[in-house]
């Protein structure tokens, strides 16, 4: 069960080198049906804020720089 306060193996990872959220991109955040991605105000990069993933892939497919990777959540793997 997901709980944002707990240490959790998160399915969505974002490569900060490739992520251009600090240049105004927020596509992955906008397309997520469950609204689980956010931009970290400190780093300016996208990250998975809530472990509530349908592993449906719009975030990965629509990312213009290929920064997003979705893994199958650990419980299903």
DSSP string, the chain: ---TTS----SEEE-TTT--GGGT--HHHHH-TT--EEE-TTT--EEE-S-------HHHHH-TTS-EEEPPPGGG-
In the region spanning residues 5 to 24, those forming contacts with another protein, defined by CB under 8 A, are none
Nearer to another protein among residue 22 and residue 34 (C-beta): 34
**Out of 13, 54, 64, 66, the residue judged to bind another protein by CB under 8 A:** 54
**Out of 10, 20, 25, 31, the residue judged to bind another protein by CB under 8 A:** 31
Nearer to another protein among residue 15 and residue 60 (C-beta): 60
- # of chain residues touching another protein (CB under 8 A): 27
């Amino acid at each position: 069960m997901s709980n944002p306060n707990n240490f959790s193996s998160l399915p969505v990872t974002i490569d900060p080198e490739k992520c251009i959220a600090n240049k105004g991109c927020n596509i992955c955040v906008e397309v997520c049906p469950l609204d689980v991605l956010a931009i970290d105000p400190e780093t300016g990069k996208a990250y998975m804020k809530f472990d509530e993933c349908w592993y449906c892939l719009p975030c990965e497919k629509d990312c213009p720089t290929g920064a997003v990777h979705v893994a199958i959540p650990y419980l299903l793997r």
